[in-house]
Amino acid sequence: MKNIYFALLCFYLLIPQISLGQKNLNKGKATDKDYYTEVAFEFVNGKIIIPVTIENKTYRFLLDTGAPNLITSTLHEQIKSRNLKVNTVRDANNRKSKMKVASIPLLTIGGVAFKNSPNLVYEHGENIIFDCFVIDGFIGSNLLRNSVVQINLEKKLLIITNDIAKINIGNAKPIKLSLVGNQKSPYLWVNLKGEKTARENLLFDTGMRSMYDLSMKNYRHLKNKNIYQLIDQGYGTNSISLFGNAKKAQHYRLLVPEFSIGEVTFKNVVTQTTDDNNSRIGTEILNYGNVTIDFENEQFYFDTKSKEIAIEEKLLGFSTTLINKRLVVGTIWDDALQSQIKIGDEILKINDVDYQKTHFCEFVTNASALKKEDHLNITFRTQTGEIKEITLDKKLANSQDSVKP
């Protein structure tokens, strides 16, 4: 039995990205040969949530091009389906478990019906992704492998069709897309430029909300090519995957002077290493233009108003994660903070926001005050019970402040 691989990410909350060695998910197709539909979506803290109809009832699904279809055990019990087999699943933190694969006779997105679509079944109880986003499953790349998909964040509109000619791609030029594995995960090459230049093959993953996540494996391969400039290095955990938190490890926060997708170049892109084997592009790029994924013809289009985009990101000296439904310090980047806070210290208050009165799901579904504010008064509870308040200011990440790794 071969492994299925999940990478699940949001502070990093990693929503499943799965690589398959089996053909049992590469099945199912649209009932019509010619189709076009427009679907309004919700955009919740970087996640695209769409309505999906099964047996005349509408459910909430997350659109995730980095994953195959997946449904909760609750939905599995409520609908007709046919069990196919059991697969071994490994998440981004290398935790393993087994998951069933079930075939759904018919599911509909907008005006397009798909028959006999295979879906992994999540049977592991409570999960912050399903519970906090109130979703019933994922629509993944295996279902979309014969379609053309456009995501327009400005209009919050998803288009699914069989014909690229039915979509307005503006002035965007095609970028070669590779559909990897039987799941047909969409990968594209990007150009990186620091002192020297390089290319990297990235998964376009709508389950990830950030701009660019760099796998530790790729970083080790590229770090001697003088592409990345080191901003910080830190030890800790800041990712939550399908089966729990990542183990504590050494990671790096880096700056890429130029990051190019086709003809579009981003200046001063900040990235962070992850435990995943794959580097990824996430939904943050939707803030800059429309994305069209032509699975059918293996092309990617990125339609933007500008061909050069400068990013000015301010960074905090630590990152957060969720442990036992509490918002805590996950990774400490700034050495000066080592004497003031520790990994696992709970965040009680940020400026005027009292997190002791906040349901933990709001950490997941709402933009963090740590992201929205530049000047922060933060109250912590240490692991010994001490309450302390620290005032911090974010610092702008740019090439002048960075040093070589």
Q: Which residues pair with 157 in a beta bridge?
A: 40, 152
pLDDT (tens digit, 9 = 90+) per residue, 278-320?
899 999 999 999 999 999 999 999 999 999 999 998 999 999 9
Look at residue 381 in the predicted model and tell me its pLDDT: 96
Structure tokens belonging to residue 312: 């000015």
| CATH number of the domain encompassing residue 104 | 2.40.70.10
By residue range, what is the domain housing residue 319? 315-396
pLDDT (tens digit, 9 = 90+) per residue, 26-71?
888 999 999 999 999 999 999 999 999 999 999 999 999 988 899 9
Look at residue 245 in the predicted model and tell me its pLDDT: 54
Whether residues 263 and 353 share a domain: the answer is no
Confidence band, pLDDT 50/70/90 cuts, at residue 368: confident
Whether residues 274 and 196 share a domain: the answer is yes
Whether residues 144 and 226 share a domain: the answer is no
Whether 85 shows a pLDDT value over 50: the answer reads: yes
Whether residues 304 and 319 share a domain: the answer is no
Confidence band, pLDDT 50/70/90 cuts, at residue 17: very low
Whether residues 298 and 182 share a domain: the answer is yes
Residue 226: inside a domain, yes or no?
A: yes
Confidence band, pLDDT 50/70/90 cuts, at residue 2: very low
| CATH number of the domain encompassing residue 348 | 2.30.42.10
Residue 13: inside a domain, yes or no?
A: no
Whether residues 222 and 340 share a domain: the answer is no
Q: DSSP states of 133-176 as a string?
A: HT--EEEEHHHHTTSEEEEETTTTEEEEES-GGGS--TTPPPEE
Whether residues 306 and 324 share a domain: the answer is no
Whether residues 125 and 143 share a domain: the answer is yes
Whether residues 321 and 302 share a domain: the answer is no
Structure tokens belonging to residue 325: 């439904």
Residue 77: inside a domain, yes or no?
A: yes
Whether residues 337 and 386 share a domain: the answer is yes
Whether residues 222 and 150 share a domain: the answer is no
**Listed residues 279, 310, 341: the one ending a domain:** 310
Q: CA 294, CA 149: separation in Å to the nearest integer? A: 6
Look at residue 95 in the predicted model and tell me its pLDDT: 54
Residue 402: inside a domain, yes or no?
A: no
Residue 405: inside a domain, yes or no?
A: no
Beta carbons of 237 and 344 less than 8 angstroms apart: no
Mean pLDDT (the chain, rounded): 87
Task: Give the count of domains, the chain.
Answer: 3
What is the CA angle 283-21-35, rounded to 5? Answer: 55
